[in-house]
Amino acid sequence: MSIVVVLDYGTSNLRSVTKALEFVAENKHQIIVSDQQEQILAADRVVFPGQGAIGQCMTSLKEKGLDDVVRECINIKPFLGLCLGLQSLLDESDEDGGTKGLGIIPGRVIRFKDNVKDEHGCICKIPHMGWNQVYQMKKHPLWKGIEDGARFYFVHSYYVQPENKNDIAAKTDYAAEFTSAAARDNIFATQFHPEKSQKAGLTLLKNFLSWKV
């Protein structure tokens, strides 16, 4: 039985992510929530969930010594980042007055502009909250069984801008066209919340558990 660690840095929605992973694991994977460096490094797969502000996220990672653990895990095993778990992978975020990220995916995190109107003339409220379509930009094992344009659940005011187009796995339109998933090597990370996205989200999580890199 493989071991999947959900990274616990003290500021995340651990319960919903863990429950969703347990649901799709079908007793083939053991799901563990941990902030212990040795346990995380020994796991077969790592999930980095997140919600809230990136400043607190990065501070918690550093205080627990998990920033370097994340960098090491990304080099050796399948890694799934969710929401802040995506944003933290970039070089820098404009949030909290400017916050340095892990610098794994070149690029930055920026805020949606206020008072942007959609095609119907309605103001796009910030944060972007609710269901929206995700358009796949390249083939990937985690998209298996998920239709292009499938709807996923979002809650965010900031979004990532990768420098390298090859890192973009999906895009979504809201106030601006933005990257809603990124992928490179054994990393896959989403701005949306698969654990809150019903069938499509559960399919993505199940694909992650069987992903061979």
* Active-site residue flag, 195: yes
Cα–Cα distance for residue pair 36/70, rounded to 1 Å = 12
Q: What share of the chain is helix, strand, coil (3-state, %, to 5)?
A: 30, 35, 35
The single residue of 29, 57, 83, 156 carrying the catalytic annotation is 83
The single residue of 29, 128, 156, 193 carrying the catalytic annotation is 193
Other C-beta atoms within 10 Å of 105: how many?
26
Angle between the N-to-C axes of helices 198-210 and 14-25, in degrees from 0 to 180, rounded to the nearest 10:
70
Other C-beta atoms within 10 Å of 121: how many?
6
The DSSP string of 109-171 is EEEPPTT-B-TTS-B--SSEEEEEE-EE-S--GGGTT--TT-EEEEEESEEEEESSGGGEEEE
Q: Are 181 and 141 in contact (CB under 8 A)?
A: no
* Active-site residue flag, 92: no
* Active-site residue flag, 57: no
Q: Active-site positions?
A: 83, 193, 195
